[in-house]
């Protein structure tokens, strides 16, 4: 027997099974009561027509034609199979839990469960169209979808898991086959958006798959259905805007690909947010109260970019699986998603509160594409200190600073021998005018008092304080200090540097000569400035020196 014939037989058997379920559980009577307003005494199933809903939900949608003494009528049911009876029971409980969350709003509905068995659930079939296929105007549909999600999310205000998004950001970025410079710029933008909003009240049970195929608009456009809750999260962890960005990300990417902009998507998003916020206000709160900011579009744009970003990492994994033959279409998609994320996050920076930026930084993004926020500058400074030949002993310590073995330190910092380590420690101690670290009995011993002063955890998430304290350490090296002064002034007379008195004149003269020799500085007739070629190739963003 051919596989095609077997498929036909199995399909026929399934339809007979579903017909038996309909008759055994008298589902026709439930449908008749909804359609006719009363239950007939006698009815028969005349015809069952089927269609498969696309997507990952695997639902079989069936249109049933009945006849009765009250006349003919039609009903729709949705049949879904599961691997185990435990999955069935879980989805029944989940359906009831969501039903309880949305029942106070008559405009938001979920399909009723008509029947269940060992490996199936038979749901009420929803009449209407999924979001993208619904004939109503986009803004009307966005309005309905916004109210649906706000009703599901509710007015609860527990914290979201900020670490979830920080991990997603760094982990996903590592997987993208793009340059270090591009990664650095994306990180500066992404972290700036993530670190400058309050997530202490924005946590929800993430829907997991809130996307246009799982929102159905009623034929009259007066209400909507939330369907297929299979991927709802079992604990509060997600931020509200994660579900919202999932809903709009693919339409945003499509629009960006076609127009190099996302104007239409943002228009629909704003309508969605108005409806979402209106529903929250009826429940006694608002997005502005939850995030403690008047303008929260930056939070949304962070999540929109991150979702597109994650999609880019999936493309990256497919590229890595075929390293010898890289499909040009996949490469184009990867670059599109990189440009999309950069575009969205750059737009998001415009909505950050003023406190996110140093007062002297009028430009929110510099001419090289780096965010000019406290967090972006602070993270860049921290990375510079971690890789610095001396400062790495303070900011890139292996294991615990209380008990660092010399052999472990040599391996961790890539040093050749103990003499190299001792020389580095000597140079570091000179920068701090005292002993901050020493070697005793083959172990590194750190000065507890000085290390406590350098401890960043005391500032928690206050990136202004963190950055200021990192900058103090960074400028202890004369070369960093000199470059910093020239970046601020564009050019400077050598005597001016000497007269500032931060370092002795001999040290200034020697360091300036070394920087000119390395091609970092350029000496004019009466002043010193940055060498243009160094500026072009510098890996550390200039914001570190600003």
Give the pLDDT score at 182: 87
pTM summary value: 0.84
**Final residue belonging to a domain, choices 107, 125, 143:** 125
Domain CATH code at residue 120: 3.30.200
% of the chain beyond a pLDDT of 70: 89
Domain CATH code at residue 313: 3.90.1200.10
On the 0-12 / 13-18 / 19+ scale of CB atoms within 10 A, 336 is middle
544 and 426 in a common domain: no
22 and 63 in a common domain: yes
- Mean pLDDT (the chain) is 86
What does the buried/exposed string (b/e) look like for 159-178 if buried means 16 or more CB atoms within 10 Å of the residue's CB? ebebeebeebbeebbeebee
- The dihedral built from the CA positions of residue 419, 422, 428 and 430, taken in this order, carries a sign that is negative
**Final residue belonging to a domain, choices 304, 323, 352:** 352
161 and 101 in a common domain: no
Strands (E), 426-525: 437-440, 443-446, 491-492, 521-523
Give the pLDDT score at 525: 79
188 and 138 in a common domain: yes
pLDDT (mean) for 36-43: 85
Give the pLDDT score at 55: 47
pLDDT (mean) for 429-449: 88
404 and 487 in a common domain: no
343 and 215 in a common domain: yes
490 and 408 in a common domain: no
**Is the per-residue pLDDT at 400 higher than 80?**
no
121 and 135 in a common domain: no
**Final residue belonging to a domain, choices 430, 449, 468:** 468
535 and 491 in a common domain: yes
pLDDT (mean) for 65-77: 87
Rounded Cα gap, residues 5 and 141, in angstroms: 42
Number of domains in the chain: 4
Give the pLDDT score at 76: 85
329 and 214 in a common domain: yes
415 and 441 in a common domain: yes
Could you report the per-residue pLDDT of 200-225, keeping only the tens digit for each? Answer: 999 999 998 899 999 999 999 999 99
- Residue in 118, 125, 132, 129 with CA at minimum distance from that of residue 50: 125
**Token output for 106:** 């008559």
On the 0-12 / 13-18 / 19+ scale of CB atoms within 10 A, 181 is middle
Could you report the per-residue pLDDT of 470-521, keeping only the tens digit for each? Answer: 999 999 999 988 888 888 888 888 888 888 778 888 888 899 899 989 888 8
331 and 200 in a common domain: yes
For 56, the domain range is 3-125
Domain CATH code at residue 545: 1.10.10.10
């Amino acid at each position: 027997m051919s596989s095609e014939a077997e498929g036909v037989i199995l399909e026929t058997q399934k339809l007979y099974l579903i017909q038996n379920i309909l008759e055994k559980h008298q589902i026709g009577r439930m449908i008749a009561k909804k359609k006719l307003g009363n239950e007939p005494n006698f009815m028969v199933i005349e015809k069952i027509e089927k269609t498969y809903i696309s997507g990952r939900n695997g639902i079989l949608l069936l249109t049933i034609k009945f006849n009765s003494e009250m006349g003919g009528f039609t009903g729709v049911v949705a049949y879904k199979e599961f691997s185990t009876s435990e999955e069935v029971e879980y989805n029944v409980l989940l359906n009831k839990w969501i039903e309880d969350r949305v029942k106070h709003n008559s405009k938001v509905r979920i399909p009723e469960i008509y029947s269940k068995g060992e490996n199936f659930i038979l749901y009420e079939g929803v009449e209407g169209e999924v979001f993208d296929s619904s004939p109503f105007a986009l803004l009307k549909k966005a309005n309905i979808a916004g109210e649906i999600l706000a009703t599901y999310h509710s007015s609860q205000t527990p914290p979201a898991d900020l670490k979830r998004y920080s991990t997603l950001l760094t982990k996903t970025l590592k997987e993208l086959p793009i340059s270090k410079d591009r990664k650095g710029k994306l990180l500066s933008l992404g972290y700036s958006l993530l670190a400058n909003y309050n997530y202490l009240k924005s946590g929800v049970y993430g829907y997991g798959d809130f996307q246009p195929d799982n929102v159905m608009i009623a034929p009259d456009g007066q209400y909507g259905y939330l369907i297929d809750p299979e991927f709802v999260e079992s604990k509060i962890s997600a931020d509200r805007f994660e579900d919202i960005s999932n809903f709009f990300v693919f339409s945003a990417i499509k629009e960006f690909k076609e127009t190099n902009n996302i104007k239409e998507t943002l228009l629909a998003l704003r309508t969605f947010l108005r409806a979402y916020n209106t529903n929250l206000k009826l429940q006694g709160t608002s997005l502005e109260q939850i995030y403690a900011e008047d303008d929260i579009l930056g939070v949304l744009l962070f999540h929109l970019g991150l979702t597109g970003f994650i999609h880019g990492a999936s493309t990256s994994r497919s590229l890595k699986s075929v390293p010898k033959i890289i499909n040009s279409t996949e490469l184009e998609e990867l670059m599109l998603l990189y440009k999309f994320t950069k575009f969205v996050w750059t737009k998001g920076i415009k909505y950050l509160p003023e406190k996110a930026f140093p007062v002297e930084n009028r430009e929110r993004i510099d001419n090289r594409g780096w965010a000019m926020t406290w967090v972006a500058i602070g993270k860049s400074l921290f990375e510079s200190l971690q890789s610095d030949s001396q400062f790495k002993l303070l900011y890139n310590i292996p294991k615990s600073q209380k008990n660092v073995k010399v052999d472990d330190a040599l391996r961790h910092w890539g040093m050749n021998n103990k003499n190299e380590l001792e020389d580095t420690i000597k140079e570091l101690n000179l920068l701090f005018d005292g002993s901050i670290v020493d070697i005793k009995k083959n172990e590194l011993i750190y000065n507890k008092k000085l290390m406590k002063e350098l401890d960043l955890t005391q500032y928690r998430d206050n990136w202004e304080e963190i950055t200021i304290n990192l900058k103090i350490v960074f400028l202890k090296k004369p070369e960093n200090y000199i470059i910093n002064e020239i970046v601020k002034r564009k050019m400077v007379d050598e005597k001016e540097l000497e007269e500032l008195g931060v370092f002795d004149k001999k040290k200034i003269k020697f360091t300036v000569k070394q920087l000119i020799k390395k091609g970092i500085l350029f000496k004019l007739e009466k002043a010193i400035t940055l060498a243009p070629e160094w500026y072009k190739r510098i890996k550390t963003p200039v914001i570190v020196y600003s």
